[in-house]
Chains A and B, each alone.
Chain A
Amino acid sequence: MTSSPQSSPFQHARHSTNNIMLMVVAACIPGISISTWYFGYGILVNVLLSIAFALSFEAAAVSLRERHIQAILADNSALVAAVLFGLAIPPGSPWWIPFLGMGFAILIAKHIYGGLGQNPFNPAMCGYLFLLLCFPLEMTSWHIPSDALSDVQEFAPISLSGLQQSLQLSFPFLNLSTFSSNELIDGLAMATPLIESKLAGTSKLLAAWQTDQSMFSRSSETAWELVNIGYFFGGCFLLLQRIISWHIPAAVIATVLTLSILFYSPGGYTIYGTPYLHLFGSATMIGAFFIATDPVSAATTSKGKLVYGMIIGLSIYSVRVWGNYLDSIAIAVLLGNFSAPLLDHFLRPRIYGHKKGVAGPAGKGSDGDLGMDS
């Protein structure tokens, strides 16, 4: 780059890509905090491990590609991918889960395509899906430190032993804490049969209110709802900061809501679940506000974003209710990624002075010849 611009404009707004990425991470903090409160240090360990691996892989890839390492690490895009990935994998995953996931995400899903801005698929979700296909057992068992979920030590603060257990789970070779694997609770959340109770039950938050229970009590099972509310507020922060546009989250949420209302059968204990729990009892909020809005792999026109969001919402609901997987954000987002280029091609805004979004050929010269000659 030259030291000063050659042509106008000579002024620049304050936004920078580095800051945008940092803001996304900052907006995750409420959700992360609530998750950690309920599911223990495993969440934090996951996130931190993922960040460490992601930055190392990014640095390695960038140096292999002979680019400026510091400048590219400073764009914080690997950081965002790592945080989202770390939140997606189950707490208590052994260290090689984030290692392999971030390796796949950064090396294969991102840098093989040419790095930031070039990847057609969301790297974090690619890494997640890769692991889900290769290691389904590890990816579906939520190990939660025993005291984090025990009725006996209700409302216990996150204890040192919990941290030890989390580290022990992540680094099985450490021998920090002694407990047999039978003691581990396979979480309240993610195992296959539980999705039914999770979505088809009533709102735990409401229950907690009605029974005068503290909603922050770990026995109240309000975890998922509060986590989603945390992500919802984080997403609203991003909207207010105009870092993301409303189109994608609105379309995802509206589609999931519409479908869940359509198929909702009150009284029947079916997996269709209540609309409220479809939005707040699962991973819909983080998916709608944080994962689907990854700008690089999403559709980029306003109309395109709406359709893109609808495709994701439809996939989320379909996979969740009729499919084999637990929750479906990763699959839905990748399906959306597939459709994004097509949406961008066909759903362009109408250009000033034109009837359509497609401008005709310039002058009378045959337009088709122009691009091919070079």
Chain B
Amino acid sequence: MRLVENIIGAMRGKAGTPIPGGIKPPDYKQATLRSRLMPTPIPRELILPLIQHGSTRTKPLVKPGDKVLKYQTIACSEATGIVDLHAPTSGVIRAIENFAIPSPLNKESMCILLESDGFDAEIDHNAITDYCSLSYLELAKLIEEGAIFGLGGEGYLNRLKLSSGKAVKLLIINAAENEPYITADEALLREKAKLVVLGAKILQAACMAEHCVIAIDSNNTDAIEALEQTQLNCPIELIKVAPKYPTGSEKQLIQTITSKEVPSGKYPADIGILMHNVGTAYAAYQAVVEGKPCISRITTLAGPALQTPKNFETLIGTSVDYLLELCGLNQQDHTMTLMGGSLMGVKLARTDVPILKTTSCIIAASNAEFPPPALEQACIRCGFCADACPVSLLPQQLYLYAKCQYYSELISHGLNDCIECGACAYVCPSNIPLVQYYRASKEEIGNQLKNEMSSAQWKQRFQYHQYRAKKDKEASRESKKRGAVAKTDEAVQSAGSTVQNMLPTFSRESAKKEIAAAVDRVRKRKTRLIASSSDENTESSK
């Protein structure tokens, strides 16, 4: 089997097959790489959004004025695939209302405002030391109760990943964080490698994966050393991958490790692979062995505008402002705040927003390292972007088609396979914000699909309406015929006539509509045919 061969190859020290393209930006990790991982002091207020992921809200179990303890469930999931929300510390619920949430657009959402009392009193929780005796279902349940979801930044729900119902051959623990500035995973591995490995074992048991590997950047020496020192007698292999962005991206890492590709539109689980972040593994350890649900995460605070950038084990719901203050924010230099890395992160519209379970990094930017973008120039089709694209797309062609809104060409050039890693825009010598064009086009195509679906729905309704009218007409004709044959009583005739009175006007109207619609359709098709004939020709000749 090729998969196993590759794993064996990796064990022999090969760094896997590198992804096509990719970039090696300056990583700016030195500032935070060696700082000690420390818990933040408990902030006075915590803002806990009810929507943790996607668009489904959890239902609050508390009301303003309630006292809660640390780890207490304060909102529960109603839908599948949504995890509960737990109080990160003890205190009093002050409000359940709209607060600003991290977004580039000043968005607000329903949140629970928890005022801490400073005691950090915990609710009873049972630690399980003997997790090996548990069945995979029990483990999965414990992990789900731990309110964990993908802590790698994308926030895919754990349960969906864990119990997708397909046989898992390989579990990959992703420590290959090669986006600039982010050192959260490194810090975690350096200080808690043993627990991460235990968590990986638990995840492996929960999804019954045959193999488990930990993928890590080959230049991440401290973390590698820490992992190698955890001499656990478990079949978890360490795979060192080339530190090339975006190797740490899910599909790219799978390609690097196994030389397999996830088919377009499918999930890694479809080819028997599951991937979790090291943060998730650590959270799984906490949930299962210590019985603690996920209430904190490791977040990197980096950026040139901070005097003491470092990694924090920070409570979910801590305000970004609070963390920036802790690191000594230099107000004069500070130009903007990013959540996530510098290549895929989000520019925050405001900083009084909470840390989420997916917040791996906060960057306080200054003009020195983040100069305002230069003027957008013409695309000279140099192809640097195509060389950098890890998915082998042709960003220059996509840009061309996005600009003239040629959506069918965009799709055939693989717009939907774009992972928005930003490598193309990073290398573009003409400073074209390529990813911005792609996002806009994706949204526009999504809207068009939605419109098409709704029009298809209306078409279906209309056709059903026509069908029903025809049926009624036939029924009335039938009854009329029957009436003639039976030569019959008035009752039947009157009944028939009422039907007759009703139906013709009804069907005439629908017929008119139908004709109008048909004329319209033909006209549209004609213009479309004219417009697309040339394109069609080249397509078909192929």
Binding site for B on A (CB under 8 A): 1, 3-13, 15-17, 19-20, 71, 75, 77, 115-118, 242-243, 245, 295-296, 298, 300-302, 305, 344-346, 348-354, 357-363, 365-374
Contact = CB atoms under 8 A, between A and B. Distances in A.
Nearest to B374: A16
B457 interface: no
Contacts of A1: 373, 375-376
B365 interface: yes
A10 B370 contact: yes
A7 B435 contact: yes
Nearest to B448: A370
A5 B382 CA distance: 23
Interface centre among A8, A115, A363 (most CB of B within 10 A): A8
A359 B409 CA distance: 9
Contacts of B379: 117
Contacts of A371: 405-410
Contacts of A11: 25, 180, 342-343, 370, 426
A269 B427 CA distance: 51
Interface centre among A5, A12, A20 (most CB of B within 10 A): A12
B392 interface: yes
A242 B23 CA distance: 13
Contact of A8 (B372, B397, B422, B448): B422
Contacts of A16: 374, 429-431
Interface string B412-455: 11111100101101111111010110010000010011001100
A7 B335 contact: no
A9 B342 contact: yes
A339 to B, nearest CB: 14
Contact of A4 (B336, B343, B449): B336
Nearest to B446: A362
Nearest to B419: A352
Nearest to B539: A368
7 contacts: A1-B376, A8-B344, A12-B374, A351-B414, A357-B392, A359-B416, A370-B445
A17 B394 contact: no
Nearest to A344: B397
A117 B380 contact: yes
Interface residues on B, range: 35 or more
A296 B435 contact: no
Contact of A295 (B381, B414, B448, B531): B381
Contacts of A352: 251, 255, 261, 264, 390-392, 417
Contacts, number: 209
B522 interface: no
Given A17-B377, A352-B261, A301 B386 contact: yes
A300 B394 CA distance: 8
A351 B264 contact: yes
Contacts of B393: 351
Interface in B332-353: 335-336, 338, 340, 342-347
B537 interface: no
A77 B381 CA distance: 13
Contact of B411 (A245, A298, A353, A361): A361
Interface string B191-230: 0000000000000000000000000000000000000000
B41 interface: no
A374 B373 contact: no
A17 B380 CA distance: 8
Interface string B258-294: 0001111110000000000000000000000000000
Contact of A372 (B342, B372, B422, B532): B532
Nearest to A371: B408
Contacts of B422: 8-9
Given A8-B420, A374-B407, 15 more contacts: A1-B375, A4-B336, A8-B340, A11-B342, A11-B343, A17-B378, A17-B430, A20-B429, A116-B380, A351-B392, A352-B264, A352-B392, A367-B412, A370-B445, A371-B409
A239 B261 CA distance: 31
Interface centre among A13, A349, A350 (most CB of B within 10 A): A13
Contacts of B340: 8
Contacts of A366: 452
A298 B377 CA distance: 19
Contacts of A358: 412-413
B407 A5 contact: no
A298 B417 contact: no
A118 B378 contact: yes
Contacts of B387: 245
Contacts of A344: 394, 397
